[in-house]
């Protein structure tokens, strides 16, 4: 047997055994493991951003377990099983890659993405919105980017990058003069336009922000460590003292 199939069969067998013999696994439902799946997904995301391929491998294993777990639970009520899940994604991939499995020509990535969205719309007979595939619970920054990408695939996009930046500056000016609750709305518009500009520059805004979060965490924790070293309460460090430590940590990280 192919080693890949053998490994997958081993996981399926273990899942069957756990579901039958382990009290915890036996009690789980699709709803009860949902939050664990979300946690595992974020752990995979962290490993990817850290470029820790050892952890990426481990987290992929955890997610594979969850896919098998959901399928096992559903099979017990004849809702679906791992076979239908895998066949379903295979059929979808074949349908949405006509440049591979049919006579359609697609010479670049943009054409592939545009074809994907058009086929997806056709599958729903045009009933669903182009944006319907964007999960409601998706983090806001990622959601904004995905909505912009999907709208762009059907032609709703700026003509060029300069126009996108002009919109950023327009939103910034509106935010500066906004008052009260309007300030929140205008800030949202500003963020949305910045995310759009990031998209035009092939920057994933969520990845970019998370990398900045990590830099901030590293530099601020350096300030905390220095305060401990000199046995001085953090609140008693002056801003200028903090800035010196911050810049030192910044140069170490760079």
- pLDDT digit string (tens) for 38-94? 999 999 999 998 899 999 999 999 999 999 999 999 999 999 999 999 999 999 999
Q: What is the structure's pLDDT at 126?
A: 66
- Average pLDDT score over the chain: 93
Distance between CA atoms of residues 247 and 254, nearest Å? 10
Q: Which long-range contacts (CB under 8 A, 24 or more apart) does 222-228 make?
A: 222/246, 222/248, 222/249, 222/252, 223/249
41 C-beta neighbours (distance < 10 Å), count: 14
* Letter string b/e over residues 103-112, b meaning 16 or more CB atoms within 10 A of that residue's CB: eeebeeeeeb
193 and 215 belong to one structural domain: no
Position 140 in a domain: yes
CATH number for position 185: 1.10.287.1080
Tell me how far apart the alpha carbons of residues 233 and 146 are, in angstroms, rounded to a whole number: 44
Q: Residues 191-235: pLDDT tens digits?
A: 999 999 999 999 999 999 999 999 999 999 999 999 999 999 999
Q: Indicate whether 192 and 125 sit together in one domain.
A: yes
Tokens representing 46 are 């962290």
Domain contains 100: no
Task: Round to whole Å and give the CA distance between 145 and 164.
Answer: 14
212 shares its domain with 193: no
- On the 0-12 / 13-18 / 19+ scale of CB atoms within 10 A, 71 is buried
The total of structural domains in the chain comes to 3
Residue finishing a domain among 45, 73, 95: 95
Question: The whole model's pTM is what?
Answer: 0.72
Q: Which segments of the chain are extended strands (E)?
A: none
Residues 115 and 163 occupy one common structural domain? yes
pLDDT for residue 254: 63
Task: Answer yes or no: do 113 and 199 share one domain.
Answer: yes
d(CA 98, CA 101): 5
Please choose, from the candidates 160, 157, 89, 156, the residue with its C-alpha nearest in 3D space to the C-alpha of residue 129. Answer: 156
Give CA–CA dist 97/110, Å, rounded: 13
Angle at which helix 181-200 crosses helix 161-177, to 10 degrees, equals 160
Domain holding 20, by residue range, is 3-95
Joined tokens for residue 50: 């850290």
């Amino acid at each position: 047997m192919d080693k890949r199939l053998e490994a997958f069969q081993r996981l399926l067998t273990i899942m069957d055994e756990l579901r039958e013999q382990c009290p915890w696994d036996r009690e789980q439902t699709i709803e009860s493991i949902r939050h664990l799946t979300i946690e595992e997904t974020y752990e995979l995301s962290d490993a990817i951003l850290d470029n820790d391929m050892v952890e990426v491998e481990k987290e992929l294993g955890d997610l594979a377990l969850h896919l098998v777990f959901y399928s096992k639970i559903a099979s017990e009520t004849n809702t679906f099983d791992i076979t239908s899940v895998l066949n379903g994604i295979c059929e979808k991939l074949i349908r949405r890659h006509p440049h591979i499995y049919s006579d359609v020509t697609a010479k670049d990535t943009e054409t592939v993405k545009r074809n994907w969205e058009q086929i997806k719309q056709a599958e729903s007979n045009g009933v669903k919105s182009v944006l319907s595939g964007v999960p409601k619970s998706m983090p806001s920054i990622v959601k904004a980017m995905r909505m912009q990408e999907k709208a762009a695939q059907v032609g709703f996009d700026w003509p060029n990058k300069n126009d996108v930046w002009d919109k950023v500056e327009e939103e910034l000016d509106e935010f500066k003069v906004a008052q009260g609750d309007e300030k929140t709305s205008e800030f949202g518009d500003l963020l949305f336009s910045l995310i759009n500009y990031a998209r035009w520059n092939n920057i994933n805004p969520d990845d970019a922000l998370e990398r900045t979060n990590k830099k901030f965490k590293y530099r601020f924790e350096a300030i905390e460590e220095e305060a401990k070293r000199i046995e001085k309460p953090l609140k008693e460090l002056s801003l200028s003292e903090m800035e010196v430590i911050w810049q030192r940590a910044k140069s170490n990280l760079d």
